[in-house]
Amino acid sequence: MAARSPKIGLAVVIIFLMSIALLPTVRAQAPLTPDQIRAAYNVNPLLQSGYTGKGVTVAVVASNVEKTLYSDLKGFNSKFGLADTIISVAQPYDSGPTSVNGEETSDIELVHAMAPDAKILLVVVGSHSNLEGFSYVIDHNAADIATTSLFEWYWDSSADGSSAKTVRSYNDEYANSVKEKITLIATSGDYGSDNTVPKAGKTSTGDFWTKHLPYSYLMPLYSPWTTIVGGTALTLQSGTYSETGWSGSGGGPSNLFPEPDWQTGRGVPQNHARNTPDIALNAACDTTYANYVNASWGNICGTSASAPTFAGIIADIEQAAGERLGFLNPTLYSLASSDPTVYHEITSGCSLLKPNPNDPATKPGYCAHAGWNFVTGWGSIDATRLAMHLAPRAHIEPATTTTTSREHSTEATSIIRESRTEKVNTNQSNMKGFEYSPYILAGLAVAALVIVWFTYARKRATKTQSG
């Protein structure tokens, strides 16, 4: 038996590897840094003009507080070259249990990343309802802006139950924020269309849909007095940003509050209900934000990241305005008609829907489209263009450099702050994108098997010839 030449085998391996290497590289996007988020939403001209949230207080509502809060904030700021966080804590009710997931730490980091000179008031509600946080801020006029990543779910067996009365009572309290000119910002939730899809790895049924539970209510996301922030998937590739609707972005009509007078415009359904979300920012778990919690680098996703990010941006604009901006929603909706360039319109991507609570399967539900939609509202924002309307007397300098751009946009954005380059103890799987293609890994494995096979065949042929 004649042995195959090992040169032929080697040539086969080389050709195979070259063909694999030429396939498109699949890159897992690294967690987005503060610089990248600022660039994506055109925040840099505000910061560069000195509008950094100075003199503005942002309240972050949380149920508890992490033991490592202060050291975590210090680590986050050191990594990204941010000023020290100016923070105070209010515990108006009880302290509650110590946080284990660092939600409030991440919220503060995200606000601070957009508004590095804003004061932050952490309102810890403890064992009380999370909705009490907004009430505390309003009753005590404790902050200019209040944001929360939490919501409460209430349900009744009939339309005149106590839950509906409780929710209406909170909504009446939130209406007082208009008189005080306090801006309320909250998450749309991460449960997809009509909040029907449970989050991965969570035990919650996720079935808040009124089709199955006609007397269930979600607050504060149903409240017309709150600006509700949904989720997008923000991708950065070769210096260009693009966005699609996120599959987990919560949205849908309220079954309790009617459609406000200001909620009109292209795409807004005339269904006699308060519809959410109002706007959206990055929230997808494939395009996460960098965070530092429990002395460890990681990432955060969900609309619990997009809401505080928006709150930080509004703090910058409020400083530029020189006064409280107060209730935003009427202006946000009117701008969609008068100056649609305030928004990055998002026309692709669907949020998932679970049609039946007893069926684990999901399917596409609401889908993003031109105009307002149940996935992203009016879309994500251009912070500088929004500031031109909310703070018309402010002098905003254009960005000094042009390093990144957005698809289908003639406006370029830039990065003006350099991250520090000192080494930190990072979780590499979270903090670094994969530079190699999985196809190459598979190719290497196959190549190794081919080499072993040819070596074995050669030895066997040599043994046969000598025998």
Number of Cβ within 10 Å of residue 353's Cβ equals: 19
Separation of alpha carbons 321 and 50, rounded Å: 12
Contact call for residues 109 and 292 (beta carbons, < 8 A): yes
Q: Check if the beta carbon of residue 302 is closer than 8 Å to that of residue 150.
A: no
pLDDT of residue 19: 42
Looking at residue 355, its pLDDT comes to: 84
The reply to whether 223 and 339 lie within a common domain is: yes
Q: Is 28 a domain residue?
A: no
Residue type at 145? Answer: I
Distance CA 330, CA 327 (A): 8
The three-point CA angle 146-147-153 to 5° equals: 120
| 430 in Cβ contact with 299 (< 8 Å) | yes
Spatial separation of the C-alpha atoms in residues 119 and 59, rounded to whole Å: 8
Residue 307 and residue 447 in one domain: no
Dihedral sign, Cα of residue 48, residue 231, residue 28, residue 291: positive
Q: Is residue 324 part of a domain?
A: yes
Q: What's the rounded Cα separation, in Å, for the pair 131 and 167?
A: 9
pLDDT for the residue numbered 453? 57
Q: H/E element holding 430?
A: helix 428-431
Question: Is residue 239 located within the same domain as residue 376?
Answer: yes
- 311, 305 contact by CB (below 8 A): no
Helix 383-390 to helix 303-321 angle (10° resolution) is 40
Whether residue 97 sits in one domain with residue 10 = no
Q: Is-contact 375 306, C-beta < 8 A?
A: no
What are the phi and psi torsion angles at 424 (to 5°)?
-130, 160
3-state secondary structure of 5: coil
CA distances from 465 to 2, 41, 123 (A): 8, 71, 83
For residues 321 and 454, membership in a common domain is answered with no
Cα–Cα distance between 84 and 120 in angstroms, integer?
11
Which residue in 305, 292, 288 sits closest to 424, CA to CA? 292
| Residue 456 in tokens | 């074995």
Quote the number of domains for the chain: 2
| Residue-by-residue DSSP string for 109-156 | HHHHHH-TT-EEEEEE-TTS-TTHHHHHHHHTT--SEEEES--EEEE-
What is the chain's pLDDT, residue by residue, as a tens digit (467 residues)? 444 455 545 544 444 444 444 444 444 589 999 999 999 999 999 999 999 999 999 999 999 988 999 999 999 999 999 999 999 999 998 766 665 568 999 999 999 999 999 999 999 999 899 999 999 999 999 999 999 999 898 988 888 789 999 999 999 999 999 999 999 999 999 999 998 887 644 445 556 777 888 889 999 999 999 999 999 999 998 889 999 999 999 999 999 999 999 999 999 999 999 999 999 999 999 999 999 999 999 999 999 999 999 999 999 999 999 999 999 999 999 999 999 999 999 999 999 998 887 777 889 999 999 999 999 999 999 999 999 999 999 999 887 654 456 664 333 332 222 222 222 223 323 333 333 344 444 555 555 565 555 555 555 555 444 44
| Domain-embedded: residue 230 | yes
Same domain as 450, residue 361 = no
Domain of residue 119, CATH code:
3.40.50.200
Beta bridge partners of 124: 62
Question: In terms of domains, do 161 and 296 share one?
Answer: yes
pLDDT number for residue 10: 53
In a domain, 1, yes or no: no
For residues 16 and 103, membership in a common domain is answered with: no
Same domain membership, residue 77 and residue 17: no
* Helices 329-338 and 383-390, packing angle to 10 deg: 110
- Residues 403, 239: contact at Cβ < 8 Å? yes
358 and 443 fall within a common domain = no
Residue 189 lies in domain:
34-431
Q: Where are the alpha helices (DSSP H) in 140-246?
A: 162-180
Residues 332 and 462 both lie in one domain:
no
Residue among 235, 267, 275 at smallest CA distance from 251: 275
Residue 407: inside a domain, yes or no?
yes
Residues 265 and 211 in one domain: yes
**90 domain-assigned:** yes
